[in-house]
């Protein structure tokens, strides 16, 4: 087995220690720098934002908006005002679905998604389809379980108004050629939303170069806190969107006769925001950028290669996804339920995900009830791969 080079960053993550944590695609461990930033924000720096005239509130407001500007630079947005803070990618997709698509789509229009999407990029579109009378089409996959863009190009029609695809699959790790997907979508005037949950922690992003219309990401997969995420949208699209929630902060003027809304992004951030989550996300982005997305991707690619090479030598293991998957290896041990695989690996100090990964239609397509999934972060190394392989070998001995 080829031994990948280590980034030697394990010590930055107090939650890892000697644990073989291989479930980063579900949620990433947090570096001390992020934890410290959260502690300061909840402690000596804590105050509300956008409301107080006292110094600490003003300072926290500055920090909050500085985080928005940091996000904009991280993803290549033209302006911080294109970046909306949400609870996570799920809320971001729902905001587009119900705030934009539900007001644009009508009977006869169509929505295009792919066969490998997370439930969060399926269910909101089903809700909108039921509400508007639009129909949903599904792009098939290539033999190595990536989105088939040739098939997409063949099936796209002028009736398609929105295309919603995973930038990186949370099951197969397949990386979408997003620029080509955008070209195909825009050829019929459709808008493109990209689910960037798995891409943001490992791929350098530039939403303008990707030429998408909406992009969503979650902070907790980016080594930041839970409960915070980002929706990026083109300014003109955000201007045309209706808010999903009403309340404080998202208004311009309120009377009993009529309410007018604030311009984006404030229009979509009703109530007291997740202030500390935003501060923690800023720290996480700083940390990731300091390491370098190119280094992180190369590191994880080497771990994926080593894992696929080693597991591929075990006859009873079936691998899913492409060889160049980004940070994720999904597999099954034939004849053994993934939950049993996960339980035995846990006894060996190895943490993986076992289940349908919120992608039940993809499991049906793969003809499996679930898969086992090892997913890597910048704190993993060759010892983690070796521990995983030893655990799978034990599984095969136990189950024969």
Report the catalytic residues: 358
Q: What count of other Cβ atoms lies within 10 Å of the Cβ of residue 334? A: 13
Rg (CA), the chain: 22
Positive or negative: CA dihedral 27, 29, 31, 37: positive
Q: In what order do the strands lie in the sheet with 214-218?
A: 83-86, 229-233, 214-218, 191-195, 160-166, 110-114, 135-139
The CB-based long-range contact list for 242-250 (8 Å cut-off, 24+ gap) reads 242/99, 242/100, 242/103, 243/99, 243/267, 243/268, 243/270, 244/94, 244/95, 244/98, 244/99, 244/268, 245/270, 245/271, 246/270, 247/271, 248/272, 249/50, 249/273
Nearest Cα neighbor of 133 from 103, 109, 162 is: 109
Distances from the Cα of 390 to the Cα of 288, 340, 347, 348, angstroms = 30, 15, 12, 9
Nearest Cα neighbor of 145 from 175, 183, 101, 103 is: 175
By residue count, the chain amounts to 400
Alpha-carbon gap, residue 218 to 63, rounded angstroms: 19
Q: Which residues of 278-317 are buried (b: 16+ CB within 10 A; e: fewer)?
A: bbbbbbbbbbbeebebeebbebbbbbbbbbbebbeebeeb
Alpha-carbon gap, residue 108 to 207, rounded angstroms: 30
């Amino acid at each position: 087995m080829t031994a990948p080079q280590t980034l030697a960053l394990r010590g930055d993550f107090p939650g890892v220690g000697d644990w073989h944590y291989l479930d980063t695609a579900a949620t990433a461990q947090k570096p001390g720098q992020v934890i410290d930033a959260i502690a300061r924000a909840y402690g000596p720096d804590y105050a509300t934002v956008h409301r107080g005239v006292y110094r600490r509130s003003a300072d926290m407001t500055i920090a909050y908006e500085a985080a928005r500007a940091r996000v904009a630079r991280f993803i290549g947005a033209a302006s911080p005002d294109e970046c909306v803070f949400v609870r996570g990618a799920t809320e971001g997709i729902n905001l587009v679905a119900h705030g934009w698509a539900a007001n644009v789509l009508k009977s006869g229009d169509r929505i295009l998604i792919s066969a490998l999407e997370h439930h969060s990029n399926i269910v909101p579109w089903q809700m909108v389809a039921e509400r508007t009378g639009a129909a949903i089409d599904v792009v098939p996959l290539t033999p190595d379980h990536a989105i088939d863009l040739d098939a997409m190009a063949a099936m796209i029609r002028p009736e398609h108004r929105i295309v919603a695809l995973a930038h990186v699959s949370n099951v197969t790790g397949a990386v979408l050629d997003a620029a080509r997907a955008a070209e195909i979508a825009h050829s019929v005037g459709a808008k493109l939303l990209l689910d960037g949950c798995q891409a943001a922690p490992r791929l350098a992003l530039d939403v303008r170069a990707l030429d998408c219309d909406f992009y969503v990401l979650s902070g907790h997969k980016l080594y930041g806190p839970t409960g915070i995420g980002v929706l990026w949208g083109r300014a003109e699209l955000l201007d045309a969107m209706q808010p999903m929630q009403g309340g404080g902060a998202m208004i311009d003027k309120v009377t009993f006769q009529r309410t007018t809304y604030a311009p984006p992004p404030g229009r979509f951030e009703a109530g007291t925001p997740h202030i500390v989550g935003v501060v923690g996300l800023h720290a996480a982005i700083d940390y990731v950028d300091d390491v370098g997305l190119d280094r992180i991707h190369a590191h994880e690619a080497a771990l994926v290669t080593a894992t696929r090479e080693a597991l591929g030598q075990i006859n009873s293991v079936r691998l899913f996804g492409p060889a160049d998957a980004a940070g994720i290896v999904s597999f099954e041990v034939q004849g053994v339920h993934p939950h049993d695989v996960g339980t035995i690996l846990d006894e060996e100090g190895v943490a993986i995900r076992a289940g349908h990964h919120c992608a039940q239609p993809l499991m049906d397509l793969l003809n499996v009830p679930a898969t086992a999934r090892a997913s890597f972060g910048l704190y993993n190394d060759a010892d983690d791969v070796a521990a995983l392989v030893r655990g799978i070998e034990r599984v095969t001995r136990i189950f024969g």
